Amino acid sequence: MSQKTEEKLFEEWEAVRCPICMEPPHEAILLLCSSHQKGCRAYICDNSQSNCFGRFTRSLIINEQDPSKKLVCPLCRGEVSDWATDEPARRFMNNKPRSCTNESCEFLGTYIEILEHKNLVHTRVSHVDPQMLQKLSALKDCVNQIESTRREGDDNLRRLILGSRS
């Protein structure tokens, strides 16, 4: 690989953010979408801490009832056909400095340093504010209600459209 090509890749990787958590991807994987050949490069975290890839693929499982639903690229909205590990990109992104996810901590380090730091410094479960937990629970209930209503609305719309054809 030429020096110029390598510099261009590093420049591209420097700007990459996971479309789920908006951080430099941890243990990045590359989504292969319908616009991949045109230059779309959606890298997403694939680790147990952020679980971005797991959340992304669960969106397909939730929509499994509708076979027309496919995973779509979070950048270009093209259909995702597969994903791959780009080791040079993964190494580069794992070496980017990032901050500790603990709100009161100012530690900054690479992905590996952050993992070591969390195991040494933040070994116990952090305190959960009861009021925040209650608000989160209420928000979750609200989202579930909206989803339920949306599904009912989709079914009603489907019946209305199909009924008008007969």
Looking from the CA of 44 toward its CB, the CA atoms found within 13 Å total 25
pLDDT in tens, 90-130: 999 999 988 888 888 999 999 999 989 988 998 776 667 78
Maximum average pLDDT range among 56-70, 77-91, 129-143: 77-91
pTM exceeds 0.85 for this model:
no
Higher-confidence residue: 150 or 45? 45
Give kind and range of the element (H or E) at residue 139: helix 130-165
**Phi, psi (rounded to 5 degrees) for 94:** -65, -25
Q: What is the per-residue pLDDT for 166?
A: 47
Give the CATH number of domain 1-96. Answer: 3.30.40
Radius of gyration of the chain (CA): 21
Is a pLDDT exceeding 70 seen at residue 79? yes
